[in-house]
């Protein structure tokens, strides 16, 4: 049996129609896809019942600095994700942003205008284009394993995880931390002659 992933445009349309309350079977007819595709997109990290299932990881590429957030709404919809991205990246003055192809990023144009920087998308099924992000998500998974219910995880705990990862020495940064590299705060070291 052959299965083709929905295109980015179809994912955005599916999310918008779900938000409008259109039944899955009607969405499938409207987009010309099988209804199982719509059901799969519904389940794809958006919600299970009313449990909160998302943490948003934003990463500065040069310093590997992580901004880890929980979108402020249940279920996690693109509007909440857009607000979280803008809130997380505004102080860092981003020059460009690269996203993966999730339906939760349907409002990328809003992010682009709010942050005044271009937005790019990685090619589907190409984790090599986001290697730094994939590695950092692996570090986050040490604290928040995949599939775990995130509803009891508070904002303070997410901030603690964020701090621990950003203050972890990295080999690729010459054993400096991401915070030290991003903010040019080199550690005070007593040098011997």
Mean pLDDT along residues 32-46:
75
Predicted pLDDT of residue 164: 95
Mean pLDDT along residues 124-141:
84
CA angle 64/105/5 to nearest 5° reads 105
- Decide: residue 173, CB within 10 A, 0-12 exposed, 13-18 middle, 19+ buried: middle
Predicted pLDDT of residue 108: 86
Per-residue pLDDT of 135-147, as tens digits, reads: 888 899 898 887 7
Phi, psi of 103 (to 5 degrees): -65, -25
Predicted pLDDT of residue 177: 92
Mean pLDDT along residues 103-131:
84
Q: Which secondary-structure segment (H or E) carries 58?
A: strand 56-59
Please determine, for residue 62, whether its predicted confidence score (pLDDT) is greater than 70: yes
């Amino acid at each position: 049996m052959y299965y083709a992933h929905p295109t980015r445009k179809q994912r955005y349309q599916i999310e918008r129609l779900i938000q409008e309350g259109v039944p899955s079977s009607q969405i499938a007819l409207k987009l010309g896809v099988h209804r199982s595709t719509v059901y799969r997109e519904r389940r794809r990290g958006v919600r299970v019942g009313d449990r909160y299932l998302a943490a948003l990881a934003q990463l500065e590429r040069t310093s590997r600095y992580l901004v880890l957030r929980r979108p402020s709404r249940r279920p996690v919809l693109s509007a909440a994700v857009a607000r979280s991205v803008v809130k997380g990246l505004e102080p860092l003055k981003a020059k460009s942003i690269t996203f993966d192809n999730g339906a939760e990023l349907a409002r990328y144009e809003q992010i682009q205008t709010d942050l005044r920087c271009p937005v790019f998308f990685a090619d589907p099924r190409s984790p090599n284009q986001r290697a730094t992000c994939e590695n950092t998500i692996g570090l986050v998974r040490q604290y928040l394993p995949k599939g775990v219910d995130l509803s009891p995880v508070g904002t303070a705990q997410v901030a603690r995880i964020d701090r621990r990862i950003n203050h972890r020495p990295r080999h690729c940064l010459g054993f400096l931390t991401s915070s030290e590299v991003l903010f040019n705060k080199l550690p005070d070291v007593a040098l011997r002659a």
